[in-house]
Structures are given as C-alpha cells and as structure tokens.
Amino acid sequence: MNYIQITINAPRAWEDALTMVLYAHGAPGLEIEDPSIIVAHLARGDWDASVFDGRIIETGRVTLHALFPADISFNSLFEDIAALTPQHKSLFNITSAALPERDWQQVWRESFPTLKVGRTLLIIPYWNQDKVPVHKTAVMIAPGQAFGTGDHATTALALELMEDYLPKGGKVLDVGCGSGILAIAAVKLGAAQALAVDNDPLCDKSVNEHRLLNYLTKEKLNYLPGDILLDSSLQSACRDFAPQLLISNIVAEVIIELAAMAAAFIAKNGLWICSGILHEKEQLVLQAFSIQGWHVLERRERECWLAFCCRHRNYE
C-alpha cells in the first residue's frame, strides 16, 4: 500500500491537540521529533550520542509525522487542524509527501527504543522485550495511542519521584492514568496494589492492554472510569481504597481543584506526587497548596514542566 506522510511543525504547546486530531482521523501511529527531549537526555547522560557534539539544538517546536493511506481525502483533517486556532496558518507548517511502498509498521516500531527512566526503570515496547539487566525494572508498553509512554517530561518526572517516595507494600492511586504506565510502574516497583482512574473512555481499553502486557491481575491493578472532581461514587471508592501514595500527572488547573479533596483520598502520612504543571502555572499551584494545607517536600523541573511531592499538614 502507498502512503502519504503528513508533517506538521508546530509550537510544543500544540503537540497534544495536534496528536489527538491526527489519531482521530485514523493515523495508525505518530513519529514526534522534539528537540527538547534530545537536550534533556544529553543533559542527564542517559544517551551516548556523540553525533550531537558541537551542534546547537533549537527547542520550542515539535515536528509530527503521520502516515495515511494515499487514497483517502484529507479535507476534513485540514479543517479540524484549522479549527484549533485562528492563527493556524502562522503557527503550523504543514506539508505532505508521497512515500514509496515499504513495511512502514516495522519502520515505525524501530523508532521506539528502550527508554531508561530514573535509576532502575526501563520502558520497553512490547515487541522489543530486551533482556532486563539485573536490578532494573521493566514496564512494557504499546506505543501508538494518545497516552503517555514515559518519554514526556511530565511522565518521567512522576516516575522518578515515585521511585524515591513509593512506600513498598503500600497502595497507589493514579488519577488521570492515561495508559496506566504510572500505576503499572508502581506495582513493578513494589506497591501491593494500584488503582487507576480516568474520565477518558479510551483509557479502559488501554489500561487493560498494558495490564496484560505486564502480566498483572486486576487485583494488583484495577481501573475505574469517571471524573474524580465530579463523580461522588468514584470519590467514595478512592477514599475506601485509602492509598499511601496519590499520583496525578494531569494539568495544573485540575491539580488546583484536586488539592481541595486529595487529602481525603490518602491514608494517614500518605504523599501526593503531582506532575504536568507548566512553569508559568507554578505560583497558582503553590497558592492552592498553601490554602488547602499541602506542604511541598520536593520540587523537580525538566524543560518547561514541574512536578512536586507533597504531604498534607494533617499528617505532619
């Protein structure tokens, strides 16, 4: 089959919105070039990439590549992209190119190497189950969905904080779980149980798929759908679960609202790890923490993103 490659160069802030539009129109997978990820890996030293020596790597924009069958119409795709913002012509540079017939599925798979996160975690595509070194913890993923795979700064920050603060043998609640990667990693790192919740109807299938890929039972990793801010029955279930650690890799606005009720979900002396906070939203989040009685134990920053580990004043 012949394919057309749609390429969109855009500001990083538009990556998630464009990703959702491309997937909604049937893209089987995306290749996303984000120079800031290269810079971050080089800074941390977990890539040995001398090819970048002496090069100036410009950050701030991303490039998304999506493959589509050559015989489909792209009018509705371009209309939906244009509907994102009136400034789409100046913000987005969109090109298309016909590609020769190849095994693009294999090419796409080769673009997902094993990723090292923190001291012990390895994020591994399921088709490339490398032998896990001693003292490493593997989380198997199925890339290709509009959910976290561990490479985004917000997910990596949450994983690294969890590696340091996870209570072994305790319970973990993952709010806004997406693919469930954080909940799965928690169990792999020693949590007795994890509960994952999200209001996206696609998450049920994704969490179940990743549960099976990682050989976890529903007893070890359960999933509940719903909006934690509005669904009283879901709130009750989370309170009954009483985790020692709450994780929420979501956006600052939701974290601000969650600050008012999060303490009710957590067992005595429990912790809250929250990520997904843009640098410019930090003061708003800290103000909410102060009002609601949360004390920051640790702050971490990567690229333009922040993550915090907090404890409520009731447990100090």
Q: Which CATH number covers residue 225?
A: 3.40.50.150
Last residue of a domain, one of 72, 90, 109: 109
Closest to 167 (Cα-Cα) out of 84, 66, 72, 268: 268
Decide if 2 contacts 99 (C-beta within 8 A): yes
| Percent of the chain residues topping a pLDDT of 70 | 87
Q: Domain end: 56, 90, 109, which one?
A: 109
Looking at the structure, tell me whether residues 45 and 171 fall in a common domain: no
Quick: pLDDT tens for 226-273: 999 999 999 999 999 999 999 999 989 999 999 999 999 999 989 999
> How many structural domains are present in the chain?
2
The stretch 19-41 carries a mean pLDDT of: 83
The model's confidence at residue 114, banded by pLDDT at 50, 70 and 90, is confident
The stretch 208-237 carries a mean pLDDT of 95
Q: Are residues 33 and 93 in the same domain?
A: yes
Same domain, residue pair 154 and 277: yes
| pLDDT at residue 286 tops 60 | yes
Instruction: Provide the residue range defining the domain that includes 141.
Output: 115-315
Q: 88 with 144, same domain?
A: no
> CATH number, domain at 101?
3.30.70.120
Query: Is residue 177 located within the same domain as residue 292?
Result: yes
- Asked if residue 104 has pLDDT above 70, the reply is no
Whether residues 140 and 88 share a domain: the answer is no
162 and 88 fall within a common domain: no
Whether residue 56 is found in the same domain as residue 139: no
Residues 272, 294: Cα–Cα separation, whole Å: 9
Looking at residue 78, its amino acid is F
Same domain, 9 and 73: yes
pLDDT tens-digit series, residues 169-203: 999 999 999 889 999 999 999 999 999 999 988 88
Do 128 and 234 lie in a common domain?
yes
Helix 181-188, helix 203-213: angle, nearest 10: 30
pLDDT at residue 95 in the model = 94
Give the end of a domain, one of 60, 80, 109: 109
Q: Does one domain contain both 11 and 100?
A: yes
Same domain, 71 and 147: no
Phi and psi at residue 203, to the nearest 5°: -70, -30
pLDDT at site 293: 96
Helix (H) or strand (E) holding 223: strand 221-225
